[in-house]
A and B are shown apart, each in its own frame.
Chain A
Amino acid sequence: MQTENGSESPALQMKMLLEALPKESATDPTGIRLARLINRISRQKVPVSSFSRFWILGSLQAKVTLGYFAYWLRSRFVDADEKGRLKSEAHLAAALQLFGTMGYLRGAVMKVGQLLANLPEVVPEEFAEVLSALHFEAPPMHYALVREVFLDEFGREPEEVFASFDRQAFAAASLGQVHRARLHSGEEVAVKIQYPGIARTIKADLRNLRVLLQPLCLTRDWQNTLDKLADLEQMLLMETDYEQEARFGKDARLFFTVDDRVVVPRVYDDYSTKRVLTTEYLRGCHLDEFLAGNPSQKERDQFTTLLIVATFRLYYRLHWFLADPHPGNFIFMEDGRLGMIDFGCTRVMTDEEWLLISELERATLERDEASFKRVTAKACLFNDPEEMEPERLEILLRGVHWNMEPWLKDGLFDFGDREFFMRGIDSLMEMTRKRYTRGSPLYLWSNRFIFGGRAICYRMKGRCEVKNISTRESAWHDADYV
């Protein structure tokens, strides 16, 4: 997928859009209507706000992202009659436009992309590629702005706080940017700085988005969708709280030893605030670069193992979902260790949720189908499997079985298996198409966790002994951990 900003000719763009966008088999088998809608919206002018200058609705990825969002929204009103549909489409266009201006965060595009990956519960393969192409290099805060943030947060200039500080950001974060610096004591650090006012912008935007989406409420699961939006808002806002992220990072760090070969960077409290987060700089590269170096199967397997161990450990011991396992959050270090850097989007399960999810695992391992069904129904907010339409139950069971499949396989599990990965995607697609997406908001997080993680492992074409790892990691209560 290209990263140019809409320099292609209109005809070519249309062709590429048609290829990349999803097709609705019943109402829009060629995808042409969707492509036209997206094209039309992207040609309309949007008043550019101070945060959204980076979002270019004209670019192909932006259009594709928008397209998936539209696809998801539309799947909500396919049953409406023609008149209702046109009316909805007007609202849809308005919502999409607003959505376009929500690119205050170049990273928000990524965030939005991930958000899409959850909302539509559709992650086709091309989309995974589009998402990974969404890199925006230009750091959006100039140094004078960064300095003002520092004066507010520390009462001192960056160059006074640190022994040295790079004026240019080296990486984009979703809600800010990351600079390299060195402490007076000599340590190399990464300093993440948040855009001023971003939290309020998110709140205002999501409020508006909800208002615009309101008239589309044509299905019985709509309230559930709104609940999910609320949960997403919470998720985005969580990422604005760097103090919270620092706490998660510090907690996580305690659970890994040198032998684990998983590194959670040290947090430097004296250099961190709600809007600035300073952590130990980890030297290494991200997934794309790792793959570009043509790693051997052994290396792929090693990193896959580390990734699964790392996420399972936090899952079993702290009952966390790392709801944001996208490639940018893992660093492939030169010495073969895996760095795990972003805890901004950590969802801690409640005891009740944990019991339910443990029961699901038990039912899976013991092949207790009755119990498996009961838990699945409960997770979808039904009291009993009997209450569910048989088709809904069947599709959902298929999805949950897919989630649990790696737990059942002795020996190496191959995440690079295309058949396996696509089966998961298909089942999600089907769930979306049939609009069986009602579920506890926890689902949103666990889906991100599972799909995000598996998409990385799939791209890595890595294998590991999932069952063994889970047995080992879940057995920790028996040991003397506190």
Chain B
Amino acid sequence: MRISEQAKLDSRARILEKAAELFIGKGFEDTTTRDIALAAGLAAGTMFNYFPSKETLAMTMVTEALGQGMEDFRRRRTGEEELTEELFLFIASGLRRLRQLRPFLGPVLERSLSPFPRKSVCHEGEAARLGHLAVVQEIIGRHGFTAAPDYVAMTIYWSLYLGILAFWTNDESPNQEESRGLIDYSLRCFVQVISGTIAERGAAHAN
């Protein structure tokens, strides 16, 4: 019997939902693919057709959340933002969507977005990285730069972003408010780097 496209989508959604529950309840490390298949009412083999690994599963959730964040960002952008502010809006919109996944995000991001070269590249992670950087380039392009920043600048950006993610994942302050300062400050550093100017000491925060 052929499984309809709709049924496939439903199964996929159910797996993602159950996996998220388990990751939050038991933790990412202690959840097995078997647990997930069981909870979703599927044979382990069938589940592998959808998601080859636990990491892929988790990173799919991350990518979807970030994708929604990107949409939020485009919707929320007013066009009046300064460069730093616009980058801030982008990152903040993404994190807001990631928030519900936060309890198990640490180990997931550590594996999938590791800055160290890995034997097996996580495709979802790589796709997330490229997608994110493309938007950053697009934002920068809107703010009067004639050429795109080179790989050094983009590597610096990505390091800062990973640092923000790492801090934010462990941020125990209410609504992760401590991360806000870090994000803002990191972005100012980055903007300074690509602008090639040392901001005036004590210059206005707003601009």
Contact = CB atoms under 8 A, between A and B. Distances in A.
A26 B67 CA distance: 69
Interface residues of B, number: 27
Contacts of B185: 49-50
A152 B96 CA distance: 9
Interface in B158-207: 173, 175, 177-178, 180-182, 184-185, 201-207
A197 interface: yes
Contacts of B173: 197, 200
Contacts, number: 76
A140 B205 contact: yes
Contacts of B124: none
Given A144-B88, A144-B89, A144-B92, A138 B177 contact: no
Given A50-B182, A145-B184, A200-B178, A139 B85 contact: no
B82 interface: yes
Contacts of B184: 50, 142, 145
Interface stretch (A53-61, A81-89, A248-256): A53-61
A51 B206 contact: no
B205 A138 contact: yes
B92 A138 contact: no
Per DSSP, chain B at the interface is helix
B92 A148 contact: yes
A327 interface: no
Contact of A139 (B80, B180, B206): B206
Interface string B100-143: 00000000000000000000000000000000000000000000
A5 interface: yes
Contacts of B84: 142
B180 A197 contact: yes
A48 to B, nearest CB: 7
Interface of A: 5, 48-51, 53-56, 58-59, 138-145, 147-148, 151-152, 157, 167-168, 196-197, 200
B79 to A, nearest CB: 12
Nearest to A54: B202
A179 to B, nearest CB: 12
Contacts of A48: 201
B178 A138 contact: no
B81 interface: yes
Contacts of B80: 143, 167
Contact of B175 (A54, A55, A152, A200): A152
Contacts of B181: 49-51, 196-197
A144 B173 CA distance: 20
Contacts of B82: 142
